[in-house]
């Protein structure tokens, strides 16, 4: 269910740029009118955008290169200023490739390209001048075959004769004799991945040992018929004539050639949306079914469970969930601010939770009926903390967060962290590690201190936590996908489920026959570097 109507109005300037965008409609029975205002440079580039709400305090400002760096006269974005957070600046080389980005905290990311426009080096320069350098290396076909991390540890890639990814290995250095752990893939003639293995290097036998694997079997070029793991657990699938999943057999319920009762059965409505999900009751011939209905705007409207209990959802003309009603929990209502942030939730007992957001759409306070449970979030306080969570306060106790020059968290209350020179954040307790980390691993160098006795607090969120609610980013004006229902099942079972291969043609066309070797083509490699095609791999 939705409001009475929804109207979007646009006002343009003489050059066809959108000056104002106004959305009008109803939300929880009340009318709304929300306007986004844009301004442009003389060249027609977006200069400012002011989303609805918060006056002009939430305006985002864009600045461009002057004079133009582009030989055709096009302007390149030089900076972007966001409310509260600050300014991000951009620099370009002679070919208009972005070579440096500086965030509001002074963190700079430098990018180096080769003659084929591939990224060969990325340097992260901390606000104190420390450098972390990552290098990319390519083979003669233009494929990425090594990424060397700041500490010298490596992620190495290999490809088969058709140019498909065959292995990803994480190793302590770039020497051919060193090994660590790897993921290995196999493919069929249509290019489907048929096997995935997790392997480790055995120092005694000097060979790879498979720890776990998953096998994928296809009934056609693009219909996955079954998956089987290294413990022998087999899951099987069947599809309808429109290539939609129609039935599934779990490992504890073998299909016996797809003649046994499925573990789950799915049906769809005329628009291809999930309509029912059915499963046998206690291994009997009786099915229990959950059904799903949708409104004219494709929102999930009702869900009816196997006992006939109906849950109803109501949406606003902004596609935001405003209420949900069920016989079990009564009616729960939701309210939002002009930016689409969830500001309050009230359940059937009239217990209300409210949220307050700043002009950057970050939650700053969550209020509960019992004031001792209220939570306050602070941001931007301290070195290298612009745009980052600085503190959480509940019940008079505060957890403070601090960051290093690379934006990595180094203090969580009284718990301090220290890191080595890799880029991924460490989490969890300190543990013993090898002398050299594998690529992609971050070693926690230190973890000292005691945790503050503050009650557990969830991380702040700036969008609705309701599963079916729809939210958006005010800065990018991107809307999330409309709420969708869980998988649906059908209520009857044919004597034998139709083979996937008898369904209509797969959406993906047949792939060409795999070549037995690869030959190098410089011109093709250059085309691939420009985003058009990959190097030629042909039979010899």
For 431, the token pair is 């543990």
Decide: 488 and 274 in contact? Cβ < 8 Å.
yes
User: What is the pTM (predicted TM-score) of this model?
Assistant: 0.76
Residues 209-214, mean pLDDT to the nearest whole number: 98
Decide if 312 is inside a domain: no
Mean pLDDT of 424-434: 40
Residue 91 lies in a domain: no
For 271-309, write each residue's pLDDT tens digit. 999 999 999 987 777 899 999 999 999 999 999 999 999
pLDDT band at 492 (very low <50, low <70, confident <90, very high): very low
Could you give the CA distance from residue 132 to residue 422 in angstroms, rounded to a whole number? 7
What would the mean pLDDT of 255-281 be, rounded to a whole number?
95
Determine what percent of the chain is predicted with pLDDT higher than 90.
68
- The total domain count for the chain is 1
Minimal CA–CA distance to 90: which of 81, 80, 101?
A: 101
Average pLDDT over residues 122-141: 96
Whether 360 maps to a domain, the answer reads: no
Where do we find the tokens 């080389």?
93
Quote the domain boundaries for residue 396.
Answer: 369-423
Q: Is residue 493 domain-resident? A: no
The residue count of the chain comes to: 540
Mean pLDDT of 1-11: 77
Give SS3 for 107: coil
For the ranges 217-221, 448-452, 490-494, 535-539, the maximum mean pLDDT occurs at 217-221
Q: Which two tokens stand for residue 500?
A: 């996937």
| CA 61 – CA 353 distance, rounded (Å) | 34
Q: Which residues contact 19 (CB under 8 A, 6 or more apart)?
A: 11, 12, 13, 37, 38, 39
Q: Is the pLDDT of residue 346 over 70?
A: yes
Residue 109 has pLDDT above 70, yes or no: yes
Question: Does 305 map to a domain?
Answer: no
Q: Any idea which of 29-43, 388-402, 493-507 has the lowest mean pLDDT?
A: 493-507
Helix (H, G, I), strand (E, B) or coil at 15: coil
Within a domain: 403: yes
Is it the case that residue 467 has pLDDT exceeding 80?
no
Average pLDDT over residues 523-540: 40
Identify whether 397 is part of a domain: yes
Q: Quote the CA–CA distance of 360 and 338 in Å, as a whole number.
A: 13
Q: pLDDT value at position 436?
A: 35
Which residues have C-beta within 8 Å of that of residue 531, sequence separation ≥ 6?
Answer: none
Higher pLDDT, 537 or 33: 33
CA atoms of 192 and 334, how far apart (whole Å)? 44
Give the chain's radius of gyration (CA, Å).
28
- Considering the domain boundaries, does residue 384 fall inside one? yes
Distance of alpha carbon 321 from alpha carbon 323, whole angstroms: 6
- Residue 38: pLDDT over 80: yes
């Amino acid at each position: 269910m939705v409001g009475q109507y929804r109207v979007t109005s646009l006002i343009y300037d003489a050059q066809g740029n959108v000056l104002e965008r106004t959305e009008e409609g109803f939300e929880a029975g009340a009318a709304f009118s929300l306007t986004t205002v844009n301004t442009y440079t003389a060249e027609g580039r977006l200069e400012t955008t002011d989303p609805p709400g918060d006056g002009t305090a939430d305006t985002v400002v864009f600045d461009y290169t002057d004079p133009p760096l582009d030989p055709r006269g096009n302007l390149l974005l030089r900076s972007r200023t966001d409310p509260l957070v600050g300014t991000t600046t951009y620099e370009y080389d002679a070919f208009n490739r972005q070579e440096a980005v500086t965030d509001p905290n002074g963190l700079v990311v430098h990018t180096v390209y080769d003659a084929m426009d591939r990224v060969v080096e990325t340097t992260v320069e901390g606000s104190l001048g420390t450098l972390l350098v990552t290098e990319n290396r390519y083979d003669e076909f233009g494929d990425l075959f090594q990424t060397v991390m700041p500490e010298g540890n490596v992620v190495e890639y290999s490809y088969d004769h058709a140019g498909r990814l065959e292995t990803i290995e994480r190793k302590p250095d770039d020497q051919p004799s060193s090994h660590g752990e790897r993921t290995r893939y196999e493919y069929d003639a249509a290019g489907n991945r048929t096997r995935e293995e997790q392997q480790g290097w055995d120092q005694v036998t000097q060979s790879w040992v498979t720890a776990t694997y998953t096998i994928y079997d296809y009934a056609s070029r693009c219909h996955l018929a079954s998956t089987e793991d290294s413990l022998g657990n087999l899951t099987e699938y069947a599809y309808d004539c429109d290539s939609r999943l129609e039935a599934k057999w779990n490992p504890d319920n073998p299909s016996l050639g797809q003649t046994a009762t499925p573990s789950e059965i799915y049906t769809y409505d005329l628009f291809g949306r999930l309509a029912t999900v059915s499963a046998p009751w206690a291994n009997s011939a009786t099915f229990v079914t959950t059904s799903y209905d949708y409104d004219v705007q494709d929102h999930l409207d009702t869900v009816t469970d196997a006992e006939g209990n109906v849950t109803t959802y109501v949406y606003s003309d902004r596609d935001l969930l405003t209420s949900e009603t069920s016989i079990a929990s009564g009616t729960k209502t939701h309210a939002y601010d002009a930016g689409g942030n969830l500001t309050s939730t009230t359940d059937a007992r009239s217990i209300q939770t409210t949220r307050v957001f700043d002009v950057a759409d970050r939650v700053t306070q969550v209020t509960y009926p019992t004031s001792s449970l209220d939570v306050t979030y602070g941001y931007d306080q301290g070195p290298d903390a612009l745009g980052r969570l600085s503190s959480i306060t509940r019940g008079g106790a505060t957890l403070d967060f601090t960051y290093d020059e690379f934006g990595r968290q180094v203090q969580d209350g009284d718990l301090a962290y220290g890191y080595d020179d890799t880029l991924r954040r460490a989490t969890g307790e300190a543990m013993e590690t090898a002398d050299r980390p594998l690529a992609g691993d971050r070693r926690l160098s230190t973890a000292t201190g005691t945790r503050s006795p503050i009650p557990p607090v969830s991380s702040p969120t700036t969008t609705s936590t309701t599963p079916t609610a729809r939210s958006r980013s005010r800065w990018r004006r991107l809307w999330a996908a409309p709420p969708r229902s869980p998988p649906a099942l059908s209520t009857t079972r044919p004597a034998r489920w139709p083979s996937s291969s008898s369904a209509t043609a797969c959406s993906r066309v047949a792939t060409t026959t795999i070549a037995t070797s690869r030959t190098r083509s410089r011109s093709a490699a250059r085309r691939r570097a420009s985003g058009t095609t990959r190097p030629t791999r042909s039979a010899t």
